[in-house]
Amino acid sequence: MDLAVLWAFLIAFAVVAYVILDGFDLGTGILFPFLGRDESRDTAMNSVAPIWDGNETWLILGGGGLFAVFPLAYAIIMPALYAPIIAMLLALIFRGVAFEYRFKTVRGRWMWDVSFFVGSLTAAFCQGIALGALVQGIEVEGRAYAGGWFDWLTPFSLATGVAVVVGYALLGATWLVMKTEGDVHDIARRYAFALAVGTLGAIGGVSLWMPFLQPEFYSRWFASVPQFMTVAWVPVLLVVVAISLFQSLATGKHHRPFLSALALFVLCFVGLGINFYPNIIPPDVTIWQAAAPESSLIFLLVGASVLIPVILIYTGFAYWIFRGKVREGEGYH
């Protein structure tokens, strides 16, 4: 495997890690106003407070990594998705500061509740729009974005925006099922059912829409029967995971709904990857065209191959320290 492809996998890994990790804490924010009592909101927020910062670091790795190893893709995608990206960054500020501010005031607490909810919702929606806008293709001329400034805004990108909001909310709900007990747990379990139905509907809708957006996408899946057989395991696994999700929600399991929801997201990304490869920006820019020179790829790879495993170990350790249920009123005291 050549270096550019290896790096494409690593960047994809960072993006998936970001989406599933920040997905559940953004999802917790999306569900925030619907959790009933103020104490429930405290519990929900405390369940993600020690880890959200690490989760968002994957977003910096996604952006920074793209800048490092696929600078051309970074230079084209950012101007093309200008408005949704700026909106997402601002939304992440609104929700990020709420973690601390909320506990610094009594009178103003409602403001930071709103800030946390609206920020989480907007960030999720913008990420979905950005995803949709990338999937539907970006107009490139030479080494620069050549489209207009609202090219990202289409029915498809709005649909993927909604899909990501619903999917993150599912991640958040199953996270709360796993990490809380009592009222919050029961409410989250009820929401998780509805959100699971919504997420699967969204996955189905987007999956059926995509092949008709670009002929390449269609041929990746339906070019021939043997072609289809090589990729058919993705939808098959998706069905298995969906069954596991519903079954574990119905039978009162605590961990499996969350793990199933994570698996659902990973499979969606595998599906997206099958559509994209070997392009990094559909329909024209390939991984190899966008890649930085070999010496850049090697220089960062040396560090990444040591540091990423170490990061996974201590991130896992941090999650392990804060394992178990968060009890109401307890926080991390």
268-327: contacts with another protein (CB under 8 A) = 292-293, 295-296, 299-300, 303-304, 307-308, 311, 314-315, 317-318, 321-322
Distance CA 304, CA 153 (A): 35
Nearer to another protein, 83 or 231 (CB): 83
Among residues 94, 116, 89, the alpha carbon closest in space to that of 29 is found at 116
Q: Can residue 198 be called a binding residue for another protein (CB under 8 A)?
A: no
Torsions phi, psi of 234, nearest 5?
A: -65, -55
Q: By CB under 8 A, tell whether 237 contacts another protein.
A: no
- Which of residues 63 and 257 has its CB atom nearest to another protein in the complex? 63
Gap between the Cα atoms of 81 and 135, Å rounded: 12
Nearer to another protein, 70 or 156 (CB): 70
Residue 135 sits at φ, ψ, to 5 deg, of -60, -40
Q: Is residue 2 close enough to count as binding another protein by CB under 8 A?
A: no
Shortest spacing between CB 263 and another protein, in angstroms: 24
- Chain positions 63 to 92 lying near another protein, rule: CB under 8 A, are 63-69, 71-72, 74-79, 82-83, 85-86, 89-90, 92
Neighbouring-strand partners of residue 286: 279
Task: Answer yes or no whether residue 36 interacts with another protein by CB under 8 A.
Answer: no
Helices within the chain (DSSP H only)? 3-31, 38-48, 52-69, 71-80, 82-101, 109-135, 155-179, 182-209, 215-222, 225-231, 233-250, 256-276, 287-290, 294-321
> Whose CA is closest to 278, among 264, 268, 291, 265?
291
Residue 55 or 248 with smaller CB distance to another protein: 55
Of the two residues 77 and 241, which places its CB atom closer to another protein in the complex?
Answer: 77
By the rule CB under 8 A, 250 interacts with another protein: no
Interface residues for another protein in 149-168 (CB under 8 A)? 149
Q: Are residues 292 and 70 in contact, defined by beta-carbon separation less than 8 angstroms?
A: yes
**Closest Cα to residue 164, out of 199, 116, 112, 114?**
199
Q: Write out the binding residues for another protein, residues 116-145 only, by CB under 8 A.
A: 143-145
Closer by beta carbon to another protein, 66 or else 187: 66
